[in-house]
C-alpha cells in the first residue's frame, strides 16, 4: 500500500472513531441515567410503604433506603473528598508507621459512616415528604464529554409549581457500574460545602481530626 493510500486509510479510520466515541460515551451515560432512575423509583416505593410504619419503626425505613443508596453512592469517596488533604494519598504516603496508617484509614471510615448516616436520614426524610409530584431525570447537556463521567439532572416538581434541581455527579467505577460521587442541590454543591465546613471545624479544634470527626453533625 502506498504512503498516500495509508494516509487515506488512517484518515477514514480516525474519522469513524471520532464519530463512534461520542456514541460510546452517551451509551455509558445512559447506564448512569438508568442507575439513578432505578434507585429513585425503588426509594419512592419504599417511602410509600414506610408511611404506614415510620412513626414506630423509623430505622426500618432508613435501613432499607441505606441498602439502595449504598449500591449507587460512593460514600467513602465522598468522605475522602470532604476531608480533602486530610485524606489524601500524599498524606498517607508521608506516614511512617503501620499504626499511623491504620489510624488514617480508621478516621476516613469513621467519617464516612457519619456522613453516610446524615445523608441517608436527610434524603430519606425528604423523599418521605414527597406527595406524588412529578420527577424527571436526564443527562445534563455536555456533562458526558469526559469518558466514565456524567452528571444526571433530577428535576422535582412541587405542588406549588416550584422546580427543584438535584444533580448527581456520577463516575463509572468499572464497566457498567456507576456510582454517585457528589450532589448539587439547587446550585449548592454539597461536597464543596462540607469540605469548607470540615476544614473550618479542624481549625477550630486546633488540628484535632478525631475531635472534628466525633463532633461532626451534632
Return the domain boundaries, the chain. Answer: 3-215
Rounded CA-CA distance 145/132 in Å is 33
Sign of CA dihedral 15, 17, 22, 23: positive
pLDDT at 172: 94
CA 96 from centroid of its chain's CA atoms: 32
The answer to whether the beta carbons of residues 72 and 36 sit under 8 Å apart is yes
Place of cell 478525631: 210
Q: What is the pLDDT along the chain (218 residues), one digit of tens a residue?
A: 554 444 443 333 333 333 333 333 444 689 999 999 999 999 999 999 999 999 999 999 999 999 999 999 999 999 999 999 999 999 999 999 999 999 999 999 999 999 999 999 999 998 888 776 789 999 999 887 778 899 999 999 888 888 999 999 999 999 889 999 999 999 999 999 999 999 999 999 999 999 999 999 87
Rounded CA-CA distance 42/92 in Å is 38
Q: Say whether domain 3-215 belongs to CATH 3.10.450.710.
A: yes
Amino acid at each position: 500500500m502506498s504512503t498516500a493510500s495509508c494516509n487515506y486509510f488512517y484518515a477514514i479510520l480516525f474519522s469513524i472513531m471520532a464519530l463512534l466515541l461520542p456514541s460510546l460515551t452517551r451509551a455509558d451515560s445512559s447506564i448512569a441515567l438508568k442507575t439513578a432512575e432505578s434507585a429513585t423509583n425503588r426509594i419512592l416505593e419504599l417511602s410509600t410503604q414506610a408511611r404506614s410504619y415510620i412513626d414506630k419503626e423509623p430505622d426500618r425505613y432508613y435501613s432499607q433506603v441505606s441498602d439502595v443508596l449504598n449500591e449507587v453512592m460512593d460514600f467513602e469517596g465522598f468522605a475522602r473528598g470532604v476531608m480533602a488533604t486530610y485524606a489524601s494519598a500524599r498524606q498517607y504516603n508521608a506516614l511512617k508507621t503501620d499504626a499511623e496508617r491504620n489510624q488514617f484509614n480508621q478516621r476516613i471510615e469513621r467519617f464516612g459512616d457519619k456522613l453516610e448516616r446524615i445523608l441517608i436520614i436527610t434524603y430519606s426524610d425528604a423523599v418521605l415528604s414527597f406527595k406524588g409530584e412529578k420527577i424527571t431525570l436526564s443527562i445534563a447537556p455536555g456533562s458526558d464529554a469526559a469518558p466514565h463521567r456524567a452528571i444526571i439532572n433530577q428535576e422535582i416538581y412541587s405542588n406549588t409549581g416550584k422546580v427543584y434541581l438535584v444533580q448527581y455527579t456520577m463516575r463509572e467505577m468499572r464497566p457498567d457500574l456507576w456510582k454517585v460521587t457528589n450532589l448539587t442541590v439547587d446550585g449548592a454543591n454539597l461536597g464543596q460545602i462540607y469540605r469548607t465546613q470540615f476544614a473550618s471545624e479542624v481549625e477550630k479544634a486546633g488540628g484535632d481530626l478525631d475531635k472534628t470527626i466525633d463532633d461532626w453533625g451534632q
